[in-house]
Amino acid sequence: MFKEEMLNKKTWAVVGATANKDKYGYKIWKKLKEHNYEVYGVNPNYEEIEGDKIYSSLKDLPKKVDVIDLVVPPKISNNVLDQAKELDIEYIWFQPETFDDNIIEKAENLGFKILYNDCVLATLIKLEKE
């Protein structure tokens, strides 16, 4: 529903970014960068990935992002919602397996514009082929 709006926003945070090239946290972070998005990785287990600074939490980011892309287990997604609300971030994209019904309900109750059951990586790859 908010897919077009989100894709038009240029500043993203990938929560769950990782240096492991086999994982979606890496593939999504990298693909967004390739499409000229300003992307901030968030993962307390890394200080940097490929020379880019990685942040421990959304609160540590140097600027407000437009969209949060979640690539973490539902338990972590739940905590991120509270941080995102505090920071007044409007858009949240839930990658597959990052949410459950309670988290979607919470996100809706908090007033976020959300997208789920869709993958930003697949979307960007599809755009490359058009």
Q: Tokens 């240029």 identify what position? A: 10
The two tokens of residue 26 are 């890496």
Q: What is the CATH number of the domain that holds 34?
A: 3.40.50.720
**pTM for this prediction:** 0.96
Number of domains present in the structure of the chain? 1
* CB of 30 closer than 8 Å to CB of 58: no
Q: Which domain holds residue 18?
A: 3-129
Q: pLDDT band at 94, cuts 50/70/90?
A: very high
Asked whether the predicted pLDDT for residue 20 surpasses 80, the reply is yes
Cα dihedral 13, 102, 20, 52, rounded to 10, equals 10
Q: How far apart are CA 4 and CA 112, in angstroms?
A: 15
Percent of the chain with pLDDT over 70: 99
Asked whether the predicted pLDDT for residue 1 surpasses 80, the reply is no
